[in-house]
Structure 1
Amino acid sequence: MAENKRGGSFYDAPQVAERYLGHRHSGVSSPNHVMEEPAFLEELGEVTGLRVLDLGCGDAAIGQVVLDAGCRSYLGLDGSAAMVEAGNSALYGTAGRVEMVDIEDFSAPPSSFDLIVSRLAFHYVEDIEPVLASCHECLSPGGRIIFTVVHPILTSHDPGVQGKRTSWVVDDYFLQGPRERQWMGGTVTWFHRTIEDYVALLTKSGFSLTSLSECAPREDRFNGDADELARRRRVPLFLLLAGMRA
């Protein structure tokens, strides 16, 4: 298992944050742009007047989106010093801010937030049950949680392939636990769970499941690149879940 057990520290390794942000914001070639982001924004809906918390916020890209859409406040938390710096730089001059806190250490008083989001961060957390319990506790009645993770098909197996893949292998799918892989020039640990595991953990924490999406590619985001669209239709890369606090 990788020496750094918490996800944020991975992004403070030399050049990792730079490589990751370059990849994530690379347009059509980024699966985030053509798959995860549109599914997330569709689920996000109306945020006017909401107090928003973003767990594992990275460079706080969604922060400016929700602030522009009229949310009351935005707080991003991340365990990476590089990401906290990038997030606060991006939010400079706005009502939003980013603080350095590991997801595992997060807690807040009851009814502190109306919406909690987390994009591609929970698969870095070994035990998300207490995290989801903390989310439930700090949300106002009727508050929502929306999170995305790397799809279990991908967390189940590391093919060790450089460049564009032509095949995907699923192995030890029903075995939960850490999976090391080579990614962004370093060794990272992702914690594998099945779709069923994620749903069970969400509902066990007191949330009503309101949405489940495998983030199919959106044709209008490919700028007419039919080959790339066909490639992204072959296998799911992301999983989105949303729930509501009673």
Structure 2
Amino acid sequence: MTDEVAPAGVDPTIPNAARVYDYLLGGKDNFRADRELAELVLTVLPETRDSTRMYRRMVGRFVEYLVGQGVRQFLDLGSGLPAHQNVHEIAHRSAPDARVVYVDNDPVVCAHGRALLEDEPSLVRMVQGDVRDPGAVLADPAVRELLDFSRPVAVLMLFILHFVPDAERPHDIVEGYRDALAPGSYLAVAHVAGDTVPERIDQVVELYKHASSPMCPRGEAEVRAFFGDFELIEPGLANGVVEVWPFGDGEDTAFWDPELARMIYSGIGRKK
């Protein structure tokens, strides 16, 4: 992608978190400003590219677990591009009938996402929407057409809530989604930690002040509160990745930095 082909309404000079993530994963759907921010992050935390791939594998573990619990409906909020071991591909390995809706507010992400998904309209959709408005997202015709909220749905909020500042009341936003779910539904959250290795994360926070969505790390109690009265499955709210969501035989975890892993809180909660 080049800056000259930015669609109307998109400022290619302002980095976007989803496109930075795409670049770190080796994707091509990003602009120069996104790549420059990613490279600055890499100067502060050189392990970021490897850890981003590991976090993506963690998402796969979440989806595999949820499919194993009988979940066949997924709402992936702030999804970014549905590529690089995406939710529907992982779910369809074990459950070919699983339905997945990706939601993102970036028009570039959504345009390319729709192109990637055009062969699977009956099972997978890409919806442009603002995840900070649960009412609008949940009422979207494409969401309602594919997902039946009278039955269990897994809502994925992975690496998105730390881009919602406190002033926008992120806990109220998540509550709006929780309240719409049927018993037996799940909420999965992965969030940058603000109280484990602050001397490292503070440098990244400073860099993201120049992006379209500044980063807002949070402490353990704040992240735990996103689950409300949902029952956290074992091991509860985890700090780290490899030890909690073990990777398959033969997967290379030698490059994994345990300290960098502590920069993430993650967990899955179930509605009773």
CA contact 1:53–1:113 (8 Å) conserved in 2: no
Alignment of 1:28-39 (within 5 A): 29-34=49-54, 36-39=55-58
Counterparts of 1:11 and 1:73, CA distance in 2: 32
Matched with 1:124 is 163
Matched with 2:21 is 20
Counterparts of 2:90 and 2:12, CA distance in 1: 25
TM-score by length of 2: 0.65
Residues 1:199 and 2:190 aligned together? no
Counterparts of 1:22 and 1:169, CA distance in 2: 20
Q: Which has the higher strand share?
A: 1
Question: Which amino acid letter does the alignment assign opposite residue 104 of structure 1?
Answer: R
Question: How many Å apart are 1:193 and its aligned residue?
Answer: 1.7
Rate the CA distance shift 1:81–1:133 in 2: closer, same or farther, 3 A: same
| SS in structure 2 at match of 1:130 | helix
Matched with 2:207 is 182
Rate the CA distance shift 1:93–1:18 in 2: closer, same or farther, 3 A: same
Residue 72 of structure 1, aligned match among 98, 123, 133 = 98
Q: Which has the higher helix share?
A: 2
Residues 1:53 and 2:66 aligned together? no
Alignment of 1:1-246 (within 5 A): 13=13, 16=16, 18-25=19-26, 29-34=49-54, 36-44=55-63, 45-47=65-67, 50-60=72-82, 61-70=86-95, 71-94=97-120, 95-107=123-135, 108=138, 111=150, 114-126=153-165, 127-153=169-195, 156=198, 168=200, 181-183=206-208, 186=211, 188-203=213-228, 206-210=229-233, 211-217=236-242, 220-222=250-252, 226=254, 228-229=255-256, 232-235=257-260, 236-246=262-272
Question: Which amino acid letter does the alignment assign opposite residue 215 of structure 2?
Answer: W
Counterparts of 2:78 and 2:188, CA distance in 1: 13
CA deviations over 1:215-237 (Å, ceiling 9, x no partner): 334785437xx5x33xx123323
Matched with 2:39 is none
Rate the CA distance shift 1:241–1:169 in 2: closer, same or farther, 3 A: closer
Note the residue ranges of structure 2 that are not aligned, 5 or more in a row: 1-8, 28-46, 140-148
| SS in structure 2 at match of 1:21 | helix
| SS in structure 1 at match of 2:184 | strand
CA deviations over 1:176-221 (Å, ceiling 9, x no partner): xxx9531498474122321111112322xx3122232223347854
CA contact 1:155–1:192 (8 Å) conserved in 2: no
Question: How many Å apart are 1:46 and its aligned residue?
Answer: 4.3
Question: How many Å apart are 1:72 and its aligned residue?
Answer: 3.1
TM-score by length of 1: 0.70
Question: Which amino acid letter does the alignment assign opposite residue 94 of structure 2?
Answer: A
| SS in structure 1 at match of 2:182 | strand
CA contact 2:192–2:218 (8 Å) conserved in 1: no
Question: How many Å apart are 1:153 and its aligned residue?
Answer: 4.4
Over aligned residue pairs, what C-alpha RMSD do you find? 3.5
Is 185-194 or 71-80 further displaced after alignment? 185-194
Number of matched pairs: 213
Counterparts of 1:212 and 1:152, CA distance in 2: 14
Question: How many Å apart are 1:112 and its aligned residue?
Answer: 6.3
Note the residue ranges of structure 1 that are not aligned, 5 or more in a row: 1-8, 158-167, 172-178
Counterparts of 1:50 and 1:41, CA distance in 2: 15
| SS in structure 2 at match of 1:134 | helix
